[in-house]
Amino acid sequence: MKEKPRLAKAVGQLTAGLIKDLKARSMLNETLIAWATELRRTPTLEGNHDRGHRRDCFSVWLAAGGIKDGTVHGKTDHIARSIARDKVDVHDLHSTILHQMRIDPTNLPIGMPDEIFA
């Protein structure tokens, strides 16, 4: 994908601008920033036309809003094809986000996602 470096630079600049703006407004500690890829999509083409899916692999970063700086959970191999270390379930990610928003993920009126979509 020839556009990847240009697009990555643009996204990086926009993300840095958001973080700087939140910091300047003293909102960084109160705002949770969640940045995610398409969940479970591979970063490379598979076959001639499309990217594939990986059941257990996804990339997300969380910042501010009480998230500890520099913490890494889980790791994929170098092409995000399989889990290399410390699998993180998407339900755990959802629970972390809800917890940071001061919402008890075990006490939702509609139940946890695995209960809804089972």
More confident: 38 or 12? 12
Residue 32 predicted with pLDDT over 80: yes
Predicted model pTM = 0.69
Q: Taking all residues of the chain, what is their mean pLDDT, rounded to a whole number?
A: 80
Q: How confident is the model at residue 118 (pLDDT cuts 50, 70, 90)?
A: very low
Q: How confident is the model at residue 104 (pLDDT cuts 50, 70, 90)?
A: confident
53 touches 40 (CB < 8 A): yes
What share of the chain in percent tops pLDDT 70? 75
34-42: Cβ within 8 A, 24+ apart: 34/60, 34/61, 34/62, 34/97, 35/60, 35/61, 35/62, 35/63, 36/60, 39/90, 42/79, 42/80, 42/81
More confident: 103 or 59? 103
